[in-house]
Amino acid sequence: MLSVNRINTYRIPFTFEYYRPRTLREALEILRSVEGAKVVAGGTDLVVDMKFRRVEPKALVDVSKLEELRYVRLVEDYVEIGSAVTLQELVESEVVRARLPLLWEAVNSMASWQVRNIATIGGNICNASPAADTAPPLLAYGAKLLLTSLDGVREVGIGEFFVGPKRSIIRPDEVLQAIRVPVHPAGYGWSFRKVSRTSFDIAKISVAVLLKVDGGRIRDPRIALGAVAPTPVRARSTERAIESLSLEEALEVGPRFVEGDIAPIDDVRSTAWYRREVAKVLLRDSLRTAYERSLNPGWVHEG
Protein backbone atom coordinates (compact mmCIF):
# COMPACT_ATOMS: atom_id res chain seq x y z
CA MET A 1 0.00 0.00 0.00
CA LEU A 2 1.28 3.48 -0.86
CA SER A 3 1.85 5.52 2.31
CA VAL A 4 1.50 9.30 2.25
CA ASN A 5 4.07 11.46 3.97
CA ARG A 6 2.31 14.01 6.17
CA ILE A 7 5.31 15.39 8.06
CA ASN A 8 7.00 18.67 7.24
CA THR A 9 9.80 18.29 4.72
CA TYR A 10 11.80 20.64 2.54
CA ARG A 11 9.88 19.50 -0.53
CA ILE A 12 6.33 19.76 -1.74
CA PRO A 13 5.44 16.07 -2.19
CA PHE A 14 3.12 16.35 -5.20
CA THR A 15 3.07 18.07 -8.59
CA PHE A 16 1.03 21.10 -9.58
CA GLU A 17 0.89 23.71 -12.30
CA TYR A 18 2.14 27.23 -11.70
CA TYR A 19 0.67 30.33 -13.37
CA ARG A 20 1.98 33.88 -13.18
CA PRO A 21 -0.75 36.02 -14.79
CA ARG A 22 0.10 39.56 -15.96
CA THR A 23 -3.25 41.10 -15.04
CA LEU A 24 -5.93 40.58 -12.44
CA ARG A 25 -8.38 39.72 -15.20
CA GLU A 26 -6.08 36.95 -16.43
CA ALA A 27 -5.79 35.61 -12.86
CA LEU A 28 -9.58 35.53 -12.53
CA GLU A 29 -9.93 33.69 -15.84
CA ILE A 30 -7.46 31.01 -14.75
CA LEU A 31 -9.22 30.62 -11.40
CA ARG A 32 -12.54 30.18 -13.20
CA SER A 33 -11.29 27.75 -15.85
CA VAL A 34 -8.62 25.58 -14.18
CA GLU A 35 -10.09 23.08 -11.77
CA GLY A 36 -8.41 22.92 -8.36
CA ALA A 37 -6.53 26.20 -8.89
CA LYS A 38 -5.65 28.26 -5.81
CA VAL A 39 -4.28 31.76 -5.32
CA VAL A 40 -0.77 32.11 -3.92
CA ALA A 41 0.86 35.38 -2.83
CA GLY A 42 3.93 35.11 -0.54
CA GLY A 43 3.34 31.40 0.05
CA THR A 44 4.41 31.65 3.72
CA ASP A 45 1.21 29.94 4.87
CA LEU A 46 0.17 28.04 1.75
CA VAL A 47 3.49 26.33 1.01
CA VAL A 48 3.70 25.07 4.61
CA ASP A 49 0.18 23.61 4.22
CA MET A 50 1.22 22.01 0.91
CA LYS A 51 4.30 20.40 2.44
CA PHE A 52 2.09 18.85 5.12
CA ARG A 53 -0.45 17.89 2.39
CA ARG A 54 -3.16 19.75 4.28
CA VAL A 55 -4.08 21.16 0.86
CA GLU A 56 -3.15 19.79 -2.56
CA PRO A 57 -3.99 22.39 -5.19
CA LYS A 58 -3.78 21.25 -8.81
CA ALA A 59 -2.51 24.70 -9.83
CA LEU A 60 -1.21 27.86 -8.18
CA VAL A 61 -2.10 31.31 -9.50
CA ASP A 62 0.57 33.73 -8.32
CA VAL A 63 -0.87 37.21 -7.68
CA SER A 64 2.14 38.59 -5.82
CA LYS A 65 3.45 40.70 -8.72
CA LEU A 66 0.15 42.10 -10.00
CA GLU A 67 0.46 45.89 -9.97
CA GLU A 68 -3.35 46.16 -9.55
CA LEU A 69 -2.94 44.62 -6.08
CA ARG A 70 0.16 46.50 -4.98
CA TYR A 71 -0.69 49.98 -3.65
CA VAL A 72 -1.50 51.89 -0.47
CA ARG A 73 -3.74 54.88 -1.12
CA LEU A 74 -5.39 57.48 1.10
CA VAL A 75 -8.86 58.12 -0.36
CA GLU A 76 -10.86 60.75 1.56
CA ASP A 77 -11.73 59.08 4.88
CA TYR A 78 -10.24 55.64 4.32
CA VAL A 79 -6.99 53.97 3.37
CA GLU A 80 -7.17 51.39 0.58
CA ILE A 81 -4.53 48.68 0.67
CA GLY A 82 -3.98 46.31 -2.26
CA SER A 83 -3.98 42.70 -1.11
CA ALA A 84 -0.50 41.89 -2.45
CA VAL A 85 1.22 44.64 -0.43
CA THR A 86 3.81 42.94 1.76
CA LEU A 87 3.89 43.27 5.53
CA GLN A 88 7.28 45.03 5.30
CA GLU A 89 5.87 47.57 2.83
CA LEU A 90 3.09 48.29 5.34
CA VAL A 91 5.64 48.80 8.12
CA GLU A 92 7.49 51.28 5.87
CA SER A 93 4.33 53.10 4.73
CA GLU A 94 3.96 56.59 6.22
CA VAL A 95 0.24 56.52 5.35
CA VAL A 96 -0.28 53.35 7.38
CA ARG A 97 1.85 54.58 10.28
CA ALA A 98 0.12 57.96 10.53
CA ARG A 99 -3.44 57.04 9.53
CA LEU A 100 -3.78 53.44 10.81
CA PRO A 101 -1.46 53.28 13.85
CA LEU A 102 -3.25 50.25 15.33
CA LEU A 103 -2.70 48.22 12.16
CA TRP A 104 0.88 49.51 11.93
CA GLU A 105 1.61 48.40 15.48
CA ALA A 106 0.31 44.88 14.75
CA VAL A 107 2.19 44.48 11.46
CA ASN A 108 5.38 45.77 13.05
CA SER A 109 5.14 42.90 15.56
CA MET A 110 4.71 40.18 12.94
CA ALA A 111 7.15 37.47 11.91
CA SER A 112 10.76 38.26 10.96
CA TRP A 113 12.02 40.81 8.46
CA GLN A 114 12.66 38.02 5.92
CA VAL A 115 9.09 36.68 6.20
CA ARG A 116 7.60 40.19 6.17
CA ASN A 117 9.40 40.85 2.87
CA ILE A 118 7.31 38.24 1.06
CA ALA A 119 4.19 37.70 3.22
CA THR A 120 1.20 39.82 2.18
CA ILE A 121 -1.71 41.36 4.03
CA GLY A 122 -4.13 39.57 1.67
CA GLY A 123 -2.56 36.21 2.50
CA ASN A 124 -2.79 36.90 6.21
CA ILE A 125 -6.53 37.62 5.89
CA CYS A 126 -7.42 34.88 3.37
CA ASN A 127 -5.54 32.22 5.31
CA ALA A 128 -8.26 32.86 7.93
CA SER A 129 -6.19 31.74 10.88
CA PRO A 130 -7.79 32.66 14.22
CA ALA A 131 -4.30 33.97 15.11
CA ALA A 132 -3.86 36.26 12.06
CA ASP A 133 -2.34 39.42 13.52
CA THR A 134 -3.84 41.87 11.03
CA ALA A 135 -7.38 40.69 11.86
CA PRO A 136 -7.94 42.26 15.33
CA PRO A 137 -6.89 45.78 14.21
CA LEU A 138 -8.97 45.48 11.02
CA LEU A 139 -11.98 44.34 13.08
CA ALA A 140 -11.55 47.29 15.45
CA TYR A 141 -11.33 49.74 12.55
CA GLY A 142 -14.35 48.14 10.81
CA ALA A 143 -12.46 47.37 7.56
CA LYS A 144 -14.18 46.25 4.37
CA LEU A 145 -12.82 43.65 1.94
CA LEU A 146 -13.22 43.88 -1.84
CA LEU A 147 -13.66 40.36 -3.24
CA THR A 148 -13.37 40.24 -7.02
CA SER A 149 -14.35 37.58 -9.56
CA LEU A 150 -15.32 37.61 -13.25
CA ASP A 151 -18.86 38.40 -12.02
CA GLY A 152 -17.76 41.69 -10.40
CA VAL A 153 -16.78 43.01 -6.98
CA ARG A 154 -18.52 42.35 -3.69
CA GLU A 155 -17.71 44.37 -0.58
CA VAL A 156 -17.95 42.54 2.75
CA GLY A 157 -17.24 43.65 6.30
CA ILE A 158 -14.27 41.84 7.79
CA GLY A 159 -16.53 40.67 10.63
CA GLU A 160 -18.55 38.60 8.15
CA PHE A 161 -15.51 37.19 6.36
CA PHE A 162 -14.23 34.59 8.85
CA VAL A 163 -16.44 31.57 9.53
CA GLY A 164 -14.09 29.11 11.32
CA PRO A 165 -10.44 28.11 11.68
CA LYS A 166 -8.92 28.52 8.19
CA ARG A 167 -12.42 29.02 6.74
CA SER A 168 -13.87 32.16 5.19
CA ILE A 169 -16.62 33.13 2.79
CA ILE A 170 -14.25 33.74 -0.16
CA ARG A 171 -15.06 31.54 -3.19
CA PRO A 172 -12.37 29.59 -5.09
CA ASP A 173 -12.89 31.84 -8.15
CA GLU A 174 -12.48 35.07 -6.15
CA VAL A 175 -9.42 37.16 -5.34
CA LEU A 176 -9.23 39.52 -2.39
CA GLN A 177 -8.41 42.67 -4.33
CA ALA A 178 -8.10 45.30 -1.62
CA ILE A 179 -8.87 46.22 1.98
CA ARG A 180 -10.61 49.50 2.77
CA VAL A 181 -9.86 50.75 6.26
CA PRO A 182 -11.53 53.86 7.74
CA VAL A 183 -8.78 56.26 8.87
CA HIS A 184 -7.96 56.29 12.55
CA PRO A 185 -10.65 58.40 14.24
CA ALA A 186 -9.38 61.69 15.71
CA GLY A 187 -8.64 61.60 19.43
CA TYR A 188 -8.77 57.81 19.77
CA GLY A 189 -6.06 55.91 21.62
CA TRP A 190 -4.92 52.50 20.39
CA SER A 191 -2.98 49.46 21.48
CA PHE A 192 -2.04 46.09 19.96
CA ARG A 193 -0.45 43.47 22.19
CA LYS A 194 0.33 39.84 21.66
CA VAL A 195 2.03 36.99 23.45
CA SER A 196 3.90 34.40 21.40
CA ARG A 197 6.63 31.84 22.03
CA THR A 198 9.32 33.92 20.32
CA SER A 199 9.10 37.47 19.05
CA PHE A 200 8.41 36.35 15.47
CA ASP A 201 6.14 33.41 16.21
CA ILE A 202 2.37 33.09 15.70
CA ALA A 203 0.31 34.61 18.54
CA LYS A 204 -0.95 32.55 21.46
CA ILE A 205 -3.22 35.49 22.30
CA SER A 206 -3.54 38.95 20.74
CA VAL A 207 -5.62 41.99 21.68
CA ALA A 208 -6.37 45.20 19.77
CA VAL A 209 -8.05 48.18 21.45
CA LEU A 210 -9.31 51.50 20.14
CA LEU A 211 -11.05 54.00 22.42
CA LYS A 212 -11.69 57.65 23.10
CA VAL A 213 -11.53 59.46 26.46
CA ASP A 214 -14.01 62.19 27.23
CA GLY A 215 -14.08 63.87 30.67
CA GLY A 216 -12.12 60.98 32.17
CA ARG A 217 -14.62 58.41 30.81
CA ILE A 218 -14.04 55.75 28.14
CA ARG A 219 -16.16 56.25 25.00
CA ASP A 220 -16.78 53.99 22.01
CA PRO A 221 -14.33 51.23 23.02
CA ARG A 222 -13.59 48.72 20.29
CA ILE A 223 -11.89 45.53 21.37
CA ALA A 224 -10.87 42.59 19.17
CA LEU A 225 -8.92 39.47 20.01
CA GLY A 226 -7.01 36.80 18.09
CA ALA A 227 -6.21 33.12 18.81
CA VAL A 228 -8.86 32.78 21.53
CA ALA A 229 -11.85 31.56 19.45
CA PRO A 230 -12.47 29.75 16.12
CA THR A 231 -12.17 33.13 14.36
CA PRO A 232 -10.72 36.52 15.34
CA VAL A 233 -13.49 38.17 17.43
CA ARG A 234 -14.88 41.51 18.55
CA ALA A 235 -15.48 41.51 22.33
CA ARG A 236 -18.91 43.10 22.13
CA SER A 237 -20.09 42.44 25.69
CA THR A 238 -16.82 43.81 27.11
CA GLU A 239 -17.18 46.91 24.93
CA ARG A 240 -20.70 47.52 26.26
CA ALA A 241 -19.62 46.86 29.85
CA ILE A 242 -16.80 49.44 29.89
CA GLU A 243 -18.57 52.19 27.91
CA SER A 244 -18.55 55.41 30.03
CA LEU A 245 -16.38 53.92 32.81
CA SER A 246 -13.23 55.50 34.22
CA LEU A 247 -9.94 53.73 33.46
CA GLU A 248 -9.74 52.23 36.95
CA GLU A 249 -13.31 50.89 36.68
CA ALA A 250 -12.67 49.49 33.19
CA LEU A 251 -9.51 47.70 34.36
CA GLU A 252 -11.66 45.95 36.96
CA VAL A 253 -14.76 45.24 34.83
CA GLY A 254 -13.23 44.52 31.39
CA PRO A 255 -11.31 41.35 32.29
CA ARG A 256 -14.44 39.86 33.94
CA PHE A 257 -16.50 40.35 30.79
CA VAL A 258 -13.88 39.31 28.25
CA GLU A 259 -14.13 35.67 29.37
CA GLY A 260 -17.65 35.60 27.96
CA ASP A 261 -16.52 36.95 24.58
CA ILE A 262 -13.91 34.27 23.90
CA ALA A 263 -13.83 30.47 23.54
CA PRO A 264 -10.18 29.40 23.66
CA ILE A 265 -8.98 25.84 23.09
CA ASP A 266 -5.95 23.73 24.00
CA ASP A 267 -3.58 23.27 21.04
CA VAL A 268 0.12 23.02 20.21
CA ARG A 269 0.74 26.65 21.10
CA SER A 270 -1.08 26.96 24.40
CA THR A 271 -3.78 25.77 26.77
CA ALA A 272 -7.27 27.21 26.96
CA TRP A 273 -6.66 28.15 30.61
CA TYR A 274 -3.47 30.09 29.77
CA ARG A 275 -5.17 31.88 26.89
CA ARG A 276 -8.09 32.92 29.11
CA GLU A 277 -5.85 34.26 31.86
CA VAL A 278 -3.43 36.06 29.55
CA ALA A 279 -6.28 37.57 27.51
CA LYS A 280 -7.37 39.36 30.69
CA VAL A 281 -3.85 40.63 31.36
CA LEU A 282 -3.34 41.82 27.76
CA LEU A 283 -6.74 43.52 27.83
CA ARG A 284 -5.80 45.40 30.98
CA ASP A 285 -2.44 46.48 29.53
CA SER A 286 -4.03 47.50 26.23
CA LEU A 287 -6.80 49.50 27.87
CA ARG A 288 -4.24 51.45 29.87
CA THR A 289 -2.02 52.13 26.83
CA ALA A 290 -4.96 53.13 24.62
CA TYR A 291 -6.30 55.41 27.36
CA GLU A 292 -2.94 57.17 27.75
CA ARG A 293 -2.48 57.52 23.98
CA SER A 294 -5.94 59.00 23.66
CA LEU A 295 -4.74 61.84 25.89
CA ASN A 296 -1.38 62.07 24.11
CA PRO A 297 -1.63 60.64 20.57
CA GLY A 298 2.06 61.20 19.63
CA TRP A 299 2.85 60.36 16.01
CA VAL A 300 -0.72 59.98 14.75
CA HIS A 301 -2.20 62.28 12.14
CA GLU A 302 -5.18 63.94 13.82
CA GLY A 303 -8.41 64.32 11.88
* Residue ranges that bind ligand FAD, judged by CB under 6 A: 38-46, 63, 83, 87, 110-111, 115, 119-120, 122-124, 126-127, 131-133, 170, 175-176, 200, 202
Q: For residues 87 and 224, which CB has a smaller minimum distance to ligand FAD in the complex? A: 87
Q: For residues 61 and 209, which CB has a smaller minimum distance to ligand FAD in the complex? A: 61
Residue 79 dihedral angles phi and psi, to the nearest 5°: -110, 130
What's the closest the beta carbon of residue 210 comes to ligand FAD, in angstroms?
A: 19
Q: For residues 250 and 282, which CB has a smaller minimum distance to ligand FAD in the complex? A: 282
What's the closest the beta carbon of residue 266 comes to ligand FAD, in angstroms?
A: 20
What 3 state SS string does the chain have? CCCCCCCCCCCCCCCCEEECCCCHHHHHHHHHHCCCEEEECCCCCHHHHHHCCCCCCCEEEECCCCHHHCCEEEECCEEEEECCCEHHHHHCCHHHHHHCHHHHHHHHCCCCHHHHHHCEHHHHHHCCCCCCCCHHHHHHHCCEEEEEECCEEEEEEHHHHEEECCEECCCCCCEEEEEEEECCCCCEEEEEEEEECCCCCCEEEEEEEEEEEECCEEEEEEEEEECCCCCCEECHHHHHHHCCCCHHHHHHHHHHHHHHHCCCCCCCCCCHHHHHHHHHHHHHHHHHHHHHHHHCCCCCCCC
What's the closest the beta carbon of residue 27 comes to ligand FAD, in angstroms?
A: 9
Q: For residues 38 and 193, which CB has a smaller minimum distance to ligand FAD in the complex? A: 38
Q: For residues 114 and 244, which CB has a smaller minimum distance to ligand FAD in the complex? A: 114
What's the closest the beta carbon of residue 278 comes to ligand FAD, in angstroms?
A: 16
Q: For residues 102 and 126, which CB has a smaller minimum distance to ligand FAD in the complex? A: 126
Measured CA to CA, the distance from residue 94 to residue 71 in angstroms comes to 13
Q: For residues 24 and 251, which CB has a smaller minimum distance to ligand FAD in the complex? A: 24
What's the closest the beta carbon of residue 106 comes to ligand FAD, in angstroms?
A: 8
What's the closest the beta carbon of residue 81 comes to ligand FAD, in angstroms?
A: 11
Nearest position to ligand FAD, beta carbon: 123
Side-chain half-sphere of 148: how many Cα atoms within 13 Å?
20
What's the closest the beta carbon of residue 120 comes to ligand FAD, in angstroms?
A: 4
